[in-house]
Amino acid sequence: MQAEVLIIGDSHTDCLAWGCERLGIGFHHIRSSGGAWYEGKYSFEPNRGLTAQPGPPRKKLTAVKQALGHDNIFDAGLPVVASFGFNLGMLMSAVSGVGHEIIAKDGGRRAEQGTVLSRAFTEQYVEATNGNNFRIIKDMAEVSSLTMVVPPRADRDTNRLQFVELISDRMMDLGADVFDPSTMITKDLVKPLDRSWLREDGIHGRAEYGERAIKALVDHKVIERKKEAAQAA
């Protein structure tokens, strides 16, 4: 099956890959753990595009390069659907672990307890802990049609909502489109997803979730299906 989209990211891209399979959409999948992205196992070089450190990340990347016939995977001209750099698990444990609450953009409700974090601080904190991924996203957005997909909204935690908003804003500033399937499904900016959309771990999306996300991207022509491929599917 000819590839129609590149899927790049962490464990949150699994459901997107399953969604493509369900819809009969050809894809290549470059996937590593969130930790690998956080630790800088990937980087971006102007001539070579995405690069990876030796080990499983490079092995997978090399295989995709060979399949595409390009040393720079973005030269294939495929749209890129990605999910990495949100690092919500790490960020949430760092912040909520000591009882912090991020102040909403409009000042939000007044926290009655705990320690509040300003938006300016939180932005710089995210930048400091996620700078490498943001650099990759900026470079990828310059050479591809890049859509960053927000991980499923598993709960109503206000810090999570603030992080997602803040990171999404940053990714858009860097030139990427950002798509939040949870908002599309719940038709609400805050309401968490019904558990039926999530895997047993309560964090990652199921295949059905990925299918809905990918279908929406096809409907919005983010993934432009070739006629023959669509008919075959």
Residues that bind another protein (CB under 8 A): 93-95, 97-98, 100, 103, 105-108, 110-111, 113-121, 124-125, 128-129
Q: Say how many Å lie between the first and final Cα of the chain, rounded.
A: 10
Q: With respect to another protein, which residue has the nearer C-beta, 105 or 220?
A: 105
Please identify, using beta-carbon distances, which residue of 117 and 178 lies nearer to another protein.
Answer: 117
In the complex with another protein, the residue whose CB is nearer, 36 or 50, is: 36
**How near is the Cβ of 119 to another protein at its closest, in Å?**
5
Q: Least Å distance between CB 120 and another protein?
A: 6
**Minimum distance, C-beta of residue 134 to another protein, in the bound complex (Å):** 15
Q: Which is nearer to another protein, 51 or 129 (CB)?
A: 129
Query: With contact defined as beta carbons under 8 Å apart, do 149 and 82 qualify?
Result: yes
CB 206 within 8 A of CB 181: no
Q: Give whole-number Cα distances, 83 to 55, 102, 105, 146, 148, in Å.
A: 21, 23, 24, 10, 5
Task: For strands 49-52 and 42-45, give the pairing.
Answer: antiparallel
Considering the complex, what minimum distance in angstroms separates the CB of residue 74 from another protein? Answer: 31
Closest CA to 81 of 161, 148, 35, 178: 148
> Mind giving me the DSSP string for 22-50?
HHT--EEEEE--HHHHHTT-EEEETTTEE
Bridge partners, 49 (sequence order) = 45
Q: Which is nearer to another protein, 106 or 228 (CB)?
A: 106
As measured in angstroms, the least distance from the Cβ of 149 to another protein is 25
Segment holding 208, helix H or strand E: helix 207-219
Nearer residue to another protein within complex by CB, 66 or 93: 93
| Shortest distance, position 166 Cβ to another protein, whole Å | 12
